[in-house]
Chains A and B, each alone.
Chain A
Amino acid sequence: MSREAPPILRLQDVSLTFRTRAGAVRALNGASLAVHEGEAIGLVGESGSGKSTLARAVLGLNPERSSRIEAGRILIAGRDVTRLSQAEWEGARGHPVAMVFQDPLSFLNPIMRIGRQIAESIERHAPDRRVEERVGELLALVKLPPSLARAYPHELSGGMRQRALLAVALACEPRLLIADEPTTALDVTTQAEILALLRDLREQLGMAMLLITHDLGIVSSACERLYVIYAGRVLEWGRSQDVFGAPAHPYTVGLFQAARADRDAQGRFATIGGEPPDLGETAKGCPFAPRCPSAMAECIQSMPGVTVVGEAGSHAVRCWLYPPAQDAAATAGHVFGS
């Protein structure tokens, strides 16, 4: 994989705020990440940490009227798309990024047959293809019977809808697939088939993938690198083997513990203690400090810079337990995970 070419996706210090009747919600607060061609990247974090907002921001899909990117840049294959309007996005044919949404029903057109929705996606990408045939291929790829082409979304089971949406996304042969919880509604057998399909597509077509999931087992087996996000900030990132092998940030540690733990002696499930932050106020310090078992005075004062941990140099964290290096330039390359 060439590190010369610009990454297929790069976010640089992106901050995004939603306006609601009850005030502002800062869902992204200086988030940075990079996905290179052909890479499989995991994005993990608790519910409400900003994962879907980040994914939608890449495709300009956050509500135009009530959300605003206040700072930072989003680059797709080197091109700045931060300020593209909805109309400009819709005009962007042959777009290299496609997305599978967490919530299939709200992104499938309820009054259009599944086959037609897949066909439109093909036509947008490559109008001259033999569309009918390709629709059949795509349905087969996601393990759906050909007869489903004529069905409407409400006639599908939850897991079938999720796979139909995946077929729509794959129809435009994206260079990057952003998959937001693509297998949550699937039993393990179907899930395993879909994950194998995504792996094949990456190997055959060199498609990159940004996988958002709560299932850390999937991330550890399917992703080369991962980013851990909390309160709209990336707190830790690195190669899967390094981060899972030696998680640095106390938040990551808590997340992994909750995933590993069975129930305790009282039959209770493990959780991370404390409350997720109120995104209305922009605290100065580390957003995790109020819940952190290792919090120190400086954690409340300010957000630390980036520290490379481990020997491989491919694992980094923002946490005062790992004081940042003096030489900022030495770590700059790691800020975006390159």
Chain B
Amino acid sequence: MATLLALQGVTHTFRRSGGALVTAVRDVSLEVGESETVALVGESGSGKSTLGRIALGLIRPDAGRVLIAGKNLHDMANRELRRERIAFQPIFQDATASLNPRRTVRDLLRQALRQRGADRNEHMRIELLESVGLRPGSLYLERYPHELSGGQRQRLAIARALAMKPRLIIADEPLSGADVSMRGQVLNLLLDIKKERGLAYLMITHDISIARAFADRVAVMKEGQIVEEGPAGVVLSKPREDYTKRLLAAVPQLAY
């Protein structure tokens, strides 16, 4: 399996206003192979989103290398970088912040499809919306992001990422606002795309059932470091670290 994304010894420290120095990511190495799904789990503030942003080239790490298909991301010329960026699509934790509030749903999709030279007609846009459960799609084209519910906005962000036909999706809590039925629908869709197109995912999630259903490998982050990594079946059923055991433990169950 060819390596699509490789993070090598990546470290990044923030200075938060107020003076606190936070090493959000500390000497992390992680690889995602062609059509592989890696789940990144860990408690709040452990550095997951920062690592995702580094992989997307949105944050330049203080140390370490980010390789895309073997090439150093930060050595690439702009045009090449832009091309690779399209192949790596993000779905951010906060969908509102990533969707231009002044664009209608139609414009947002048109723009995304154009990047791939694929925006041929309204039908494609509608199809895309319906594939993430926004049905009938025509109902949503004229809306602005703030005119959607939280879960609808998140699904719009997913539709937009899929429009670019990426090779790797870096998704940060992509389904945290979706109800159980919708979550099922979108996960089924992502599983299908994974099968059909051999798409790879780096899936940041605190939802262990998503990791279980989806991931080939699981990496567990704690205070900026990866403390445990391995095949999903092993990490999720026989965690080595106490920390991982705790993360897996307290899932609230239906009480009745």
Contact = CB atoms under 8 A, between A and B. Distances in A.
A169 to B, nearest CB: 17
B100 interface: no
Contact of A159 (B44, B104, B178): B44
B213 A46 contact: no
B252 A221 contact: yes
Interface string A158-180: 11100100000000000000001
Given A47-B152, A217-B254, A263-B213, A185 B45 contact: no
B149 A47 contact: yes
A263 B184 CA distance: 9
B159 to A, nearest CB: 14
Interface in A251-266: 254-256, 258-260, 263
Contacts of A189: 43, 246-247, 250
A32 interface: no
Interface in A94-119: 102-106, 113
Contacts of B141: 22
B9 interface: no
B36 to A, nearest CB: 17
Given A47-B151, A214-B177, A158 B94 contact: yes
Contacts of B191: 267-268
A278 B18 CA distance: 49
Interface string B91-110: 00110110000001000000
B17 to A, nearest CB: 5
A55 to B, nearest CB: 11
Interface string B159-182: 000000000000011001111111
Interface stretch (A5-13, A123-131, A145-153, A312-320): A145-153
Interface residues of A, number: 71
Contacts of A276: 135
Contacts of B256: 220, 240-241, 244-245
Interface residues of B, number: 59
A20 B97 CA distance: 21
B77 interface: no
A157 B14 CA distance: 12
A109 to B, nearest CB: 14
A103 B206 contact: no
B78 interface: no
B185 to A, nearest CB: 5
Contact of A20 (B17, B94, B147): B147
A47 B177 contact: yes
Nearest to B20: A147
Contact of B206 (A163, A186, A270): A186
Contacts of A106: 96-97
A86 interface: no
A269 B147 contact: no
A259 B254 contact: yes
Nearest to B152: A48
B188 interface: yes
A46 B97 contact: no
Contacts of B104: 21
Interface in B76-126: 93-94, 96-97, 104
A187 interface: yes
B19 A269 contact: no
B88 to A, nearest CB: 20
B181 A271 contact: yes
B173 A185 contact: yes
A155 interface: yes
Given A103-B96, A214-B179, A52 B18 contact: no
B45 A157 contact: yes
B149 A271 contact: no
Nearest to B94: A105
A241 B255 CA distance: 8
B253 interface: yes
Interface string B32-67: 000000000111110011000000000000000000
A190 to B, nearest CB: 5
Given A18-B147, A48-B152, A52-B150, A187 B184 contact: no
Interface in A287-318: none
A280 interface: yes
B254 A244 contact: yes
A151 B17 contact: yes
B44 to A, nearest CB: 3
Given A185-B93, A185-B173, A48 B149 contact: yes
A81 interface: no
Contact of A150 (B19, B177, B255): B19
Contacts of B28: none
22 contacts: A20-B147, A21-B143, A22-B141, A45-B179, A47-B151, A105-B96, A147-B19, A151-B16, A181-B150, A185-B44, A186-B206, A189-B246, A189-B247, A214-B151, A214-B179, A221-B255, A259-B254, A269-B183, A269-B184, A269-B188, A269-B213, A280-B139
Interface of B: 14, 16-20, 41-45, 48-49, 93-94, 96-97, 104, 135-136, 139, 141-143, 147, 149-152, 155, 172-173, 176-185, 187-188, 191, 206, 208, 213, 246-256
Given A105-B96, A220-B254, 10 more contacts: A106-B97, A149-B18, A214-B177, A216-B180, A216-B254, A260-B254, A270-B181, A270-B184, A271-B182, A275-B136
